[in-house]
Structure 1
Amino acid sequence: MALTGIQILKMLPKKNCGECGIPTCLAFAMKVAAGQTEIEECPYVSDEAKATIGEASAPPIRTIKIGTGDAEFTAGGETCLFRHEKRFENQTGIAVLISTDEDAAAIDGKLKRANDFEYERVGVMMRNNLVAIKDAGGGDLAGLAKKVMEAAPKQAIILMSESVDALKAGAEACGANKPLLFGANAENVDAFAALAKDTGCVIGV
């Protein structure tokens, strides 16, 4: 949880030296709390205080990247829940869901719409960023992942299954285009963690 300016002030040396470029330690603490300057700007603050403040101000969800190159999508790393508090660093993701039990025509139609989807919102171009592929049981998750990469090369991929074997095959099919692996639960979380370590992919629960 982020610290208040007063909480940060208590950890400062209170020299009011101005060497940080801000006249008083109180004003400096308030700016650190607001994210307008870094605690490292104080030349006299202790390493312990730096560590405490740094940990408290870290985003609750660390930054993750799904996909690579033109298909890369960044999520997490936000320090606020509401735009009016500060600003969101990463664009909101828009995804389309396809399933291994859908016919080819339906999948092709969804991928075309995902590629074509784009509109401007408050000066920001919004587009479809991700394709989520759901394992309906017994389908070819890996084959469908390959199809998505060919038909929608600018889309990051989410693979959805509770089967670690299916996700492993899908991740291998994606290669360097690292997908997000979704479907971890209490029963398979250890196997999911091992798969994430082996493939370098992030996992979702």
Structure 2
Amino acid sequence: MKIKLTVLSVFAFCSMFNAEAQKLKKFGSSIEKKIGPKTIKVPYTDVISYLGYATPGNEDNIVDDKKFYYIYLWVPAVAPELGVRMLSPVAKTKIKDAISSSEYEANASSSDYFDTYITLERSSIFTKEGVTVDGAKNATWTTLASNDDSSEMPAQPSGSSYNSLLRYKSEVGSPTKALTAGLYRIGFTTYKRGEVKGTFLAEVAAPVKLPGVVMAKTIEELKKGL
């Protein structure tokens, strides 16, 4: 009886862990505020969420022998900071007002997930007129920040903290590293070389309201929202 109870207890704990692993905390900025004895990161005031599904063989680029996928982002105004985070799998995580891609809708019940690795990249395109497929292809892209594993993110079903989160503060004095209006992209892949497969939630956030932010998997989709 004791053995059976122990097994059941372990099973219950694992089930609880998996359920808790999908609970996202509020996306906090790098701005810290002291509340009583605790110091917390002030939540971002503007968050845009995207639900997708990565399919092997459907990558957008090969970088350092890794298969990279991109999500494009139009930022309409100067931002002091941008935060990016990615969760895989989405599982039962509920996100209000998220952009839901057709790929995600077709694979929402999938249990596939991947070890996320993300980048935030800024292009040399600063006007809506420059946002074209050829323009994005020929633009100069600068990697502003990247992240592999973040302890701030929920663990994956394996129990490993392999989800990602980054924050990037604008470098006002640098023409290439300031967060001005323009075309950006989130790059994602796996830390190890291999296939990228599974559902994911990608979120981009700012500490100020940025009316007119557009987020899409392709340049064609992005242009429809501009």
State the TM-score, normalized to the length of structure 2. 0.25
User: More strand by proportion, 1 or 2?
Assistant: 2
User: More helix by proportion, 1 or 2?
Assistant: 1
State the TM-score, normalized to the length of structure 1. 0.26
Relative contact order higher in (CA < 8 Å, ≥ 6 apart): 2
